[in-house]
Amino acid sequence: MSEICKTCGNVIAAPSVASDYDPAAPHITPRIAAELIAHEGIVTEAYRDSVGVWTWSVGLTDACGHGVRRYRDNPQDLDHCMAIYAWALRERYLPAVLDAFGDHEPAEHELGGALSFHWNTGAIRRAEWMRRFRDGDIAGARDAIMNWCRPAVLTKRRRCEQALFFDGTWTNDGHATVYDVAKPSYRPTAGRRVEILSRLEQLSL
């Protein structure tokens, strides 16, 4: 029987999930990519986020270097949504996260937690918790990651990232919520659960 995360309510992935991850050559694995999507969800056409910014796929905006307004009234299939997400994660976010680790060779769960944090905040290079971690203050780092909980709705996500980074607790089951877009508001609406891990395994992460 699957275990349920007490923090976020997600199904915790079985520990037997296969991975070819090597800390000496850190890279994005399907399990890392799926963990982040589990927090974000997927929207297959462009929508306006809570502050009106045009957004698409797994929380992508024009700032990632891929114009997303082309997807207004133009829904894409999941494979395209995740291919662009994987590109942005690899090219736009992974380098900063690896740089923030310094000489430390991150385990898969550490890289996954740090990537999720950076995708959400863009602040891995200036985050006190990462500096404390590099300095060997693990307890201080564990506490300091929870300083990034504004707005308060992010508290559950930070606790999941904390549990993943420091304890190796994964909180995805290979599925994600795919949302439709309501119009004329262009806001995400009712979602449905879709299996994504097999699709991620086909991508060049």
Give Cβ neighbours of residue 29 (< 8 Å, ≥ 6 apart). 19, 20, 21, 108, 112, 205
Looking at this protein, which amino acid is placed at residue 10? N
Give the number of C-alpha atoms closer than 13 A to the C-alpha of residue 143, restricted to the C-beta side. 4
Q: Find the mean pLDDT for residues 23-35.
A: 96
pLDDT tens sequence across 112-132: 999 999 999 999 999 999 999
User: How confident is the model over 45-54, as pLDDT tens digits?
Assistant: 999 999 999 9
> In terms of DSSP bridges, do strands 42-48 and 175-182 run parallel, antiparallel, or are they unpaired?
parallel
Q: What is the pTM of this model?
A: 0.90
Query: CA 51, CA 58: separation in Å to the nearest integer?
Result: 16
